[in-house]
Amino acid sequence: MSDNVVPPVRFRADVLAVPAYRQGATPTKPGYKLSSNENPFEPLPGVLDAIAQRSDINRYAAVAMPELRETIGAEFGVDGTHVHLAAGSVAILFQLVHAAAAAGDEYLHAWPSFEAYPSLGLASGAVASRVPLTPTAEHDLDAMADAITERTRVVLLCSPNNPTGPAIRRADFDRFMTRVPADTLVVLDEAYREFVTDPEAVRGEEVLRQHPNLVVLRTFSKAYGLAGLRIGYGVGDPAIFAAAASVAIPLSVTGIAESAARASLTPAARAAHAERVAALAERRDALAAALRELGLAIPQAQANFVWIPETGQVPGGVADALALAADFSEAGTLVRPFAGVGVRVSVGEPESVPVVIDIVRQHLAQR
């Protein structure tokens, strides 16, 4: 909840103790918004038309959305019954942890990782267990396997990891899965999968069918640029999703989001999408390389952002993440600081890249 606000009614003390998810900052002056890993491109061809044609907004959407689920399932070699839609993939994370882990049960995730993970268990009383990343900002899968206990119900793997960038390697993933009990759910959160260029990275569509306890999560928010419409999906065993649906908020996926997602998967839209994703990955690599030239230890960047660590975390970082973010903000560019840990900079418009490099260069020169 918000700082220093006490509700006038009796609320759960454990809920009141947990800070609410904080969205990346919103610009207050002209500049670049590089704080939420959004897509800088305009909507894909056909998307705005598809939205405009959705005039039936006085009705609830028909939630089955079979065509969209079939299309997505085909990418994974499964039928649409293995696909679960929700108002953002973050909703599916909540559903799965809620459905699998009761009060006192554990779910495991790396840290630092997606900021929503620590509070996923709040409603059910499930306990989040964090395993620190390695010094190169990667998942420490051996330590994560060691941390699985009798009470672990869900393991969350974020690949590429938000906010640090590295993807999990396929060989490491395969070895990890041999150590996970077959009745423990593993969620491979691939919100940034489309930006992955490392041939050794795990790819959900290649491993899904080998593991009945695996769910792959994807979203239309990032590479497809539909963050504001809220639509994401999971792929896995239909029985897992039947349980997730039991704890889902009903009727959350709108017909407009469904139409936009379908329009994003036509051949023309896919071609434009592939070009844009390739451009963003190239821009990311150029930005990471330029920051490394300034002496910074930028970890492998496989998503649409780069991570600037603090020196306390690794040699070759900045002294103070908040101070660097303040310099960005002063220049009208918003990034995402993680106090004491580092700064995440999303890959935005082409013109933003030299601006980012300049701000960092000046920041380093002042210290």
Ligand X SMILES: Cc1ncc(COP(=O)(O)O)c(C=O)c1O
What residues make contact with ligand X under the rule CB under 6 A? 37, 88-90, 114, 158, 162, 189, 191, 219, 221, 227, 232
Pick between residue 211 and residue 230 the one whose CB is nearest to ligand X.
Answer: 230
Token digits of residue 361: 């260069």
Q: Which residue in 344, 361, 346, 364 sits closest to 113, CA to CA? A: 344
* Residue type, position 28, single letter: T
CB of 176 to ligand X, least distance (A): 18
In the bound state, the residue with its beta carbon closest to ligand X is: 88
CA end-to-end distance (rounded Å), the chain: 36
* Residue type, position 355, single letter: V
CB of 173 to ligand X, least distance (A): 16
CB of 113 to ligand X, least distance (A): 7
CB of 104 to ligand X, least distance (A): 25
């941390």: which residue's tokens? 147
d(CA 201, CA 192): 12
Cα 362 to Cα 324, 331, 340, distances in angstroms: 10, 11, 20
Q: Which residue in 352, 33, 349, 61 sits closest to 231, CA to CA? A: 61
Pick between residue 70 and residue 115 the one whose CB is nearest to ligand X.
Answer: 115
Pick between residue 95 and residue 219 the one whose CB is nearest to ligand X.
Answer: 219
Pick between residue 114 and residue 338 the one whose CB is nearest to ligand X.
Answer: 114
CB of 223 to ligand X, least distance (A): 11
CB of 262 to ligand X, least distance (A): 17
* Residue type, position 320, single letter: D
Q: Are 363 and 299 in contact (CB under 8 A)?
A: no
Task: Give the E-state strand segments of the chain in sequence order.
Answer: 83-86, 106-111, 127-132, 152-158, 185-189, 214-219, 232-235, 305-309, 336-338, 342-346
CB of 11 to ligand X, least distance (A): 25
Pick between residue 153 and residue 218 the one whose CB is nearest to ligand X.
Answer: 218
**Pairing outcome for strands 342-346 and 336-338:** antiparallel
Pick between residue 76 and residue 192 the one whose CB is nearest to ligand X.
Answer: 192
Pick between residue 191 and residue 325 the one whose CB is nearest to ligand X.
Answer: 191
